[in-house]
Amino acid sequence: MKSLLFLCAAFAISVLLLVLTAGRYSNASEPNKPLKIFILAGQSNAVGYNNIGEFHGNKEELDTKLSKVSKILFWPGSNARKEFSGRWIKLRPGVSGISGSPPYNEGCFGPEIGFAMKIAEAFPGEEIAIIKFAEGATGIARSSDYNDYIPALQGFDDKGINFHPPVGSIKAGQLYIDLIQNINAALSALKKEGRNYKISGFLWMQGEHEAGISKTMAGDYEDLLKLLSKSVRKDLDTQDLPFIIGEINSHTWAFGDLARQRQVSFCLGDGHAALVKTVDLPRNGVGDKAHFDADGMITLGERFAKAMLKFFD
C-alpha cells in the first residue's frame, strides 16, 4: 500500500512539473506581461527600398518566418500607405508610402522584418510591437546650420524637414515632431484598449544624408546623435532606453568614413547604445546601390535584434 501511495505521489509530482515546464516554454502570451515596444526610425534604409520577391535564400523558410511574425503588432507611421496609416496592423512588408508603385510593388520592407524574426524567438511568451516612422533622403542636421555642401548640392535647403530635436527657443524639425507624434498616437491607441506596455528599445538607421553632402555635417554626426538620443529618451521618459545605431553603408558617400567614425565614437560614449555593422551587406536589388536588397535588409534586422538583446541579459 505504501508503495502504491509513493508511486501515485511521484506521478502527481511529474505531471505538475510537466505542466509548469510547458507553461514556461509556451508560445502563448504570459499573463500581465507588458507589451514590448520597439521604435524604428531613420531615412531610406529604415524605410526599405527593396522588394521581398528578390530574396535569394530559402523562400519556404522565409514564408514560415513571415507567418510567425505576422502576429506582431505594427504601427507603420503616418507617412505609410493610406490604408495602413495611423493604426495598429499586423506586421508585414509593403506598407510604406513608396510601396504602391514599381519597383517596390507592395513588397518593400525595412529592418523591422528581420528584427521581428529574431526578437520574437528571444521572447516566445511575450507580445511584441514595433512603431516605425522613417523618411528617405533626410537627416538629423538642419540645412540652415551648414553651407559647405558638395558642388552638386550648393544652396541645399531642407525646408525644415529633418529629425533635429528642439534646442532652446528653436523648434524641432518637422520629422522629429512627426516621430514623437506617431509614437504618442500609437501609445494612446494602446491605452484606449487598456493595454499594458513598455518602451523597450530604439532602432536608428540613418546618416547617409550627413555623410553624403557636407564634411562639417559628417564631422558633427556624433553630436547630432547625442542630441537625438538625449531628446528621444527625455520625450519618452525612458532615460536608459537602448539606442541601436545602424552603420552607414559603404556606398560612395563623400564623407562616409568620417561619419562612420563619429557613429563609433557615439556608441563608445553611451552605455546604452550599440553599433550594428552594415558595410558587408548586399545592395544588389531594385533600390540601387545606396540601399540594402532583401537579403541584406533581413540580415540588418537580425543584427539589430542581436545588438538589442545584449541589453536584456
pLDDT in tens, 174-221: 999 999 999 999 999 999 999 999 999 999 999 999 999 999 999 999
Q: Helix, strand, coil shares of the chain as percentages rounded to 5?
A: 45, 15, 40
In a domain, 15, yes or no: no
Q: Distance between CA atoms of 100 and 256, rounded to whole angstroms?
A: 31
Please write the tens of the pLDDT for every residue from 246-261. Answer: 999 999 999 999 999 9
The pLDDT value recorded for residue 31 is 59
- The identity of residue 94, as a single letter, is G
Q: Provide the grid cell at 221.
A: 554626426
Is residue 154 within 8 A of residue 214, CB to CB? The reply is no
Confidence of residue 19 (pLDDT cuts 50, 70, 90): very low
In a domain, 136, yes or no: yes
> Which whole number is the average pLDDT over 22-45?
73
In a domain, 26, yes or no: no
Q: In what order do the strands lie in the sheet with 197-205?
A: 89-90, 73-75, 128-134, 35-42, 197-205, 243-246, 273-276
Q: What backbone torsions phi and psi does residue 134 show, to the nearest 5 degrees?
A: -145, 150
Close Cβ partners of 250 (under 8 Å, ≥ 6 residues apart) = 256, 278, 279
Please write the tens of the pLDDT for every residue from 86-105. Answer: 999 999 999 999 999 999 99
Close Cβ partners of 172 (under 8 Å, ≥ 6 residues apart) = 164, 165, 166, 180, 231
Residue bearing the bigger pLDDT, 229 or 21: 229
In a domain, 18, yes or no: no
In a domain, 45, yes or no: yes
Count of domains observed in the chain: 1
Is residue 291 within 8 A of residue 186, CB to CB? The reply is no
Classify 150 as helix, strand or coil. coil
Using only the alpha carbons of the chain, give its radius of gyration.
22
What is the enclosing helix (H) or strand (E) of 266? helix 256-269
pTM: 0.90
A 10 A CB-CB count for 168 gives 5
Q: Distance between CA atoms of 33 and 83, rounded to whole angstroms?
A: 30
Please write the tens of the pLDDT for every residue from 126-161. Answer: 999 999 999 999 999 999 999 999 999 999 999 999
Domain membership of residue 78 as a residue range: 34-312
The CATH number of the domain holding residue 175 is 3.40.50.1110
Confidence of residue 313 (pLDDT cuts 50, 70, 90): confident
pLDDT above 50 for 14? no
In a domain, 29, yes or no: no
In a domain, 143, yes or no: yes
Q: Provide the grid cell at 304.
A: 539589430
What is the enclosing helix (H) or strand (E) of 40? strand 35-42
> Which whole number is the average pLDDT over 23-50?
79
In a domain, 9, yes or no: no
